[in-house]
A and B are shown apart, each in its own frame.
Chain A
Amino acid sequence: MNKLVRFFLFIAIVSAVLLYAISSLNASQGYSGGNTVTVFNWGDYIDPDLIKKFEKETRIKVIYETFDSNEAMMTKIEQGGTNYDIAVPSEYMIDKMRHEDLLLPLDHSKLPNLKHIDKRFMDLPFDPENKYSIPYFWGTVGIVYNPKMLHGKEITSWNDLWDPDLKNEILLTDGAREVIGMGLNSLGYSLNDTNKQHLIEAKEKLDKLTPNIKAIVGDEIKMLLANQEASVGLVWSGDASEIMSENEDLDYVVPEEGSNLWFDNMVIPKTAKNVEAAHKFINFMLDPKVAAQNTDYVGYSTPNKGALKYMPKEVVEDERFYPSPELTEKLEVYENLGKKNLAYYNELFLQFKMHRK
């Protein structure tokens, strides 16, 4: 008993000392008084140096938390109990959150740097007049492949993946819309198709791809492709550029049938505690130099026109990541299909996963 009491006392003292150390550390850096901004972003989606720079410039402490799917992010905000000041959802999720009244309107007068954003990416259907959101990054969905491992074979379309030579060589990203979308695109249907017949057709076509699929994974896909665990992968363009910077043998292609064009956007959720600081943070991220540095770190395509001149020419002119207007024509933005259709996509995706070789 005595031992037990001593044990608990020891833990209590250690915790107290640590708590004191944290609070005095924070105080010495001028973070007292709760002047913080809580950012809820995708994993590995900001240059950490920029967070430090923002903290230094504004004396506002950044609390940074991450999520790995739009749905998980929304669930957390919807449930409440969180106090995120900034979140970075994709476009179809913004439409959904807007309709469910989870976002605060932005005050454009506090965002002078907004003028640097390319007009092409403003005032899009998911958020007319950018009332709630500011584009953060954009990109495509496509195929990363290793020409060396494929003995010089070139991949240009979705249908190339059904080649029997690619047995056990394909890694897929674990996303229902991306994978079912690949099936839809390969058949020439829209990514936003809700016709059950078309969806079942797409799923049956995907079932035939099963022998070629090695695994369906999450963020690990970057590491696995860079380590040549497989030669082909279905990925987002930003992941692709990251993989390619680690392994130069790899190449990225946006399939000719068309693909997905997506936007991640900064918003202020209804649960925000420090709306003032949130605006400051958004404005800071819109600064051309900051955006250029961030783009260099993250590897996705920036909507910030001003940032382009601070970036290396070969990056800005790389059509794989800044596609030509002709290809952009063929790209589709995900629409919010509603819970019921989305559930159907997921149901089919689950069945596809369970389909054995």
Chain B
Amino acid sequence: MENKRTRGLYRIPYLLWILLFVIVPILLVLYYSFFDIEGNFSFINYQKFFTPVYLKMTLSSFWYAFLITAISLLVAYPTAYLLTKTRHKQLWLLLIIVPSWINLLLKAYAFIGIFGTYGAANSFLKIIGIGSRQILFTDFSFVFVSVYIFIPFMILPIFNALNELNPTFIDAASDLGASKWTTFRRVIFPLTIDGVKSGCQVTFIPALSLFMLTRLIAGNRVITLGTSIEQHFLVTQDWGMGSTIAVFLIIIMVLIMVVTGTGKRGV
């Protein structure tokens, strides 16, 4: 009896937190989404969401988030793998994590300088004979900077999964005659799939709602759902429409969590 009561007490902070900072805000967002710009109850925002403008925006958000996640994964997996092979693993890992402590905006401003017409990237292109190109305000720069920002979040879970991998499995695979590629495909990758999944989740979900970078690096040539939410809340003051987009984002995120959910162990 005593034990049960203390356990109940321990649960209070957690439950309060979830209630105040997760459940109530989501309900509020849902509530606001049913009001039009003049404060009347209506479903007009939901109708508006299914017009070509917002559907196109959703698709392009998905496309960019997909690109960012895929490229991050392609870079992060080999990096994490190499990291586990180095002697001072923790030091190398720290070096990769440190840039993520720097403010996002500062990094974005630095990239404006690097990618600008007279920036370092263009000077380099000139030296190797390609000549000056427009890099800033293109799809390329947007995806590149986003990948740069998300990579530490992709590397960490993959690194942990690889690090926990029992090396005797690999020995066993090679003893049984598997080639290196087969070992990777049949043993290493399946055993680290949980790390890959959580890495993809922490990249894809925030990438869907990126907004500052779309202006700073892509010059508003890329419009994502995040940009649109920001606009509706701060500029148009159409909280209803902003909330409606947020509702769809939440639904999409939950779907992604379910689809990539790890089942056995949870995330």
Which residues from chain A sit less than 8 Å from chain B, CB to CB?
Answer: 69, 71-72, 74-75, 168, 171, 174, 176, 214-218, 220, 223-224, 227-229, 339-340, 342-343, 346-347, 350-351, 353-354, 356
Question: Which residues of chain B (217-259) have a CB below 8 Å from chain A?
Answer: 218-221, 223, 228, 231-238
CA distance A354 to B116 in the complex (A): 23
The contact of A217 among B117, B216, B235, by CB within 8 Å, is B216
* A218, closest chain B residue (CB): B215
Subset of 18 A-B contacts with CB under 8 Å:
A71-B237, A72-B234, A75-B234, A214-B134, A216-B220, A216-B221, A223-B112, A224-B116, A227-B118, A339-B38, A342-B236, A342-B237, A343-B238, A346-B232, A350-B53, A350-B223, A350-B228, A354-B53
B204 on interface, CB distance cutoff 8 Å: no
CA A43 – CA B117 in complex, angstroms?
26
What does DSSP make chain A's interface, helix, strand, loop or mixed?
A: helix
Q: Is B77 interfacial (CB-CB < 8 Å)?
A: no
Q: List the A side residues contacting B56 at CB < 8 Å.
A: 354
Q: Which residues of B contact A224 (CB under 8 A)?
A: 112, 116
With A174-B215, A216-B219, A223-B112 given, name 4 new contacts (CB 8 A). A215-B136, A215-B221, A227-B116, A353-B220
Shortest CB–CB separation between residue B163 and chain A, in angstroms? 22
Q: Looking at B215, B220, B223, B228, which has the most chain A CB atoms within 10 Å of its CB?
A: B220
Contact B117 A229 (CB under 8 A): yes
A71 with B234: CB separation less than 8 A: yes
Task: Knowing A220-B216, A350-B228, A354-B56 are in contact, say whether A214-B137 is a contact too (CB < 8 A).
Answer: yes
- In the bound complex, residues from chain B placing their C-beta under 8 Å from that of A340 are 37-38
B57 at the A interface (CB under 8 A): yes
A-B contacts at CB below 8 angstroms, number: 80
Query: B215, A69: Cβ atoms under 8 Å?
Result: no
Could you tell me the distance between the alpha carbons of A5 and B116 in the complex, rounded to whole angstroms? 48
Chain B residues with CB under 8 Å of A75's CB are 233-234, 237
Question: Lowest 3 A-B CB distances belong to which pairs?
Answer: A215-B219, A216-B220, A215-B137
Chain A residues lying within 8 Å of B136, measured Cβ to Cβ, are 215, 229
Tell me which of A74, A215, A354 contacts B223 (CB under 8 A).
A354
> With A and B bound together, what is the CA distance between A354 and B53 in angstroms?
8
A214 lies within 8 A of B219 (CB):
yes
* Inter-chain contact A354/B57, CB cutoff 8 Å: yes
B-side contacts of A350, CB under 8 Å: 53, 223, 228, 231
Q: Which of A215, A229, A343 is close to B220, meaning CB atoms less than 8 Å apart?
A: A215
With both chains docked as a complex, state the minimum distance between the C-beta of B216 and any C-beta of chain A, in angstroms: 7
CA distance A171 to B112 in the complex (A): 14
Which of B134, B216, B223, B232 is close to A353, meaning CB atoms less than 8 Å apart?
B223
CA distance A224 to B119 in the complex (A): 12
Tell me, rounded to whole Å, the shortest Cβ–Cβ distance linking A132 to chain B: 20
With A216-B220, A343-B236, A354-B56 in contact, do A229 and B215 touch (Cβ < 8 Å)?
Answer: no
Bound complex: CA of A347 vs CA of B228, how far in Å?
Answer: 10
The distance in angstroms between the C-alpha atoms of A214 and B138, with both chains bound, is 9
A168 contacts B215, C-beta separation under 8 Å: no
Contacts A216-B220, A220-B216: A229 and B235 contacting too (C-beta < 8 A)?
A: no
Which residue of chain B lies nearest to A68 when distances are taken between CB atoms in the complex? B234
Residues of A within 8 A of B232 (CB): 346
Q: Which of B116, B216, B218, B231 contacts A229 (CB 8 A)?
A: B116
Q: With A71-B237, A217-B220 as known contacts, state yes or no: A228 contacts B117, CB within 8 Å.
A: yes
CA distance A171 to B117 in the complex (A): 14
Residues of chain A within 8 A (CB-CB) of B238 are 339, 343, 346
- Assess the B117–A69 pair: CB atoms within 8 A: no
**Once the chains are docked, how many angstroms separate the CA of A348 from the CA of B258?**
36
Give the residues in chain A near B231, CB-CB below 8 Å.
346, 350
CB distance from B49 to the nearest CB of A (A): 13
Most B C-beta atoms less than 10 A away, residue of A217, A350, A351: A350
Shortest distance between the CB of A235 and any CB in chain B (Å): 15
In the complex, A31 Cα to B125 Cα: how many Å?
55
- Nearest-CB distance from A352 to chain B (Å)? 10
A339 touches B37 (CB 8 A): yes
Chain A residues contacting B60 (CB-CB under 8 Å) are 354
State A346–B56 Cα separation when bound (angstroms).
17
Residues of A within 8 A of B53 (CB): 347, 350-351, 354
**Nearest-neighbor residue (CB-CB) of B108 within chain A:** A220
Contacts of B215 in A (CB 8 A): 174, 216-218
C-alpha spacing A215/B218, complex, angstroms: 7
